[in-house]
Chain A
């Protein structure tokens, strides 16, 4: 197993897709369908990387990122924002709240793993 990746994503198809690619590439995937569960799982599992969707119900991705960064136990885990909400400085906002990277949806299957592994390697 290459590493543990926590995917916080509320859309089942997207989750299935990301999980499929990551698992086929040799990673163990943990999934959370909402922000609150995601934070709990991050604290509990201490994954090597968190893939974070920005459009989440109740608590959005920015709030989740802020929350994760505020917790000293897990503040070192790299977070990569994944969002289709590519408007009005989303990238800047994601970086501002503590994300390490930004992947725009729809994901490009040819480059997705490259981008994910770039952040794993940095760690």
Chain B
């Protein structure tokens, strides 16, 4: 194209501005002013073209433009509306199609996904808000319930303290007056009067023990039972509980004995509670033994003090050993309710032993007898 203009075969050429500027100098050509809408350019003429020729062209163009089927329009149509002959290869078209479909699908997919994500996010936020509200509600409910429980616990403790006082006051009179009558402080008694007063006295004492058991378990469960740490002579304590239990053993014709090892002396623990445990173990042994013996042994075994109560009683079935220390449960012993008691004794003993830093162990053979051992730490012992 540039060569044709340079040779003079053509008067002018239309080209892209940059392409033109790039090649114009190479062919020694001069560029015209830039035409920004080349599609509106139909004809061009050199500067010195004859005016008659231009007039004639104008005239002819005007005529041609009036007829839509004229050569002018035919040419225009050919240059502007004719289909582009260039075609992409088939495989590329397929690739484009696939890429297009994939793109469209992914676009649609991402749109749907985004909507779903938005919906889920909204839902999650809603759930989150509901959860937060629920947590706040529940926390308030819990605080209220806790307050109520604590109030109930305070009322229970106050009630127990009051009941303890109220139940003990009349018992004080019953036990006190029958006691002094039996001591003959009120004057002589005949055999029948003494027998009946003893029944009143023993029943009242039994009632007192039951009240004490219930109070003890309540205190233990409320964590309000504190044990003392005092130095006392364990030998004296063991001898005292044996002496106290002697009448019970005598009543059933059982042989009650104690073997205290020579190394047993003073220990550091809670005397009252140690005695309570031992008295309970002894009274249980006597209660569940019909004939034979109840024997207490007290010795130091490695770094522990072991006080064992053995008997020749009915013993305990292996399957009952598990519930032995449960509160409010008394093992069925063949004859229902043959053995009275609250069923609290061993539970209290076990928990008291724990509070004293020790434990209670049991060995038993059904029909042959049982051995209950109170094991206390030796660390508080004084030489």
Contacts and interface: CB of A to CB of B under 8 A. Distances in A.
Given A13-B173, A109-B175, A84 B180 contact: no
A106 B164 contact: no
B179 interface: yes
B208 interface: yes
Contact of B180 (A14, A20, A85): A20
Interface residues of A, number: 21
A24 B176 contact: no
A107 B172 contact: yes
Interface string A84-110: 111111001000000000000111111
A74 B374 CA distance: 45
B183 A84 contact: no
Given A24-B180, A86-B215, A106 B165 contact: no
B161 interface: yes
A32 to B, nearest CB: 18
A86 B168 contact: yes
A17 B177 contact: yes
B45 interface: no
Contacts of B175: 106-109
A55 B173 contact: no
Given A55-B165, A85-B165, A106 B171 contact: yes
Contacts of A87: 157, 160-161, 164, 215, 219, 224
Given A14-B172, A105-B168, A105-B172, A89 B226 contact: yes
B32 interface: no
Nearest to B180: A109
Contacts of A73: none
A107 B182 CA distance: 15
Given A11-B169, A24-B180, 12 more contacts: A13-B173, A20-B180, A84-B164, A85-B165, A86-B215, A87-B157, A87-B219, A92-B226, A106-B174, A106-B175, A109-B175, A110-B179
Interface of B: 157, 160-161, 164-165, 168-169, 171-177, 179-180, 182-183, 185, 204, 208, 215, 219, 224, 226
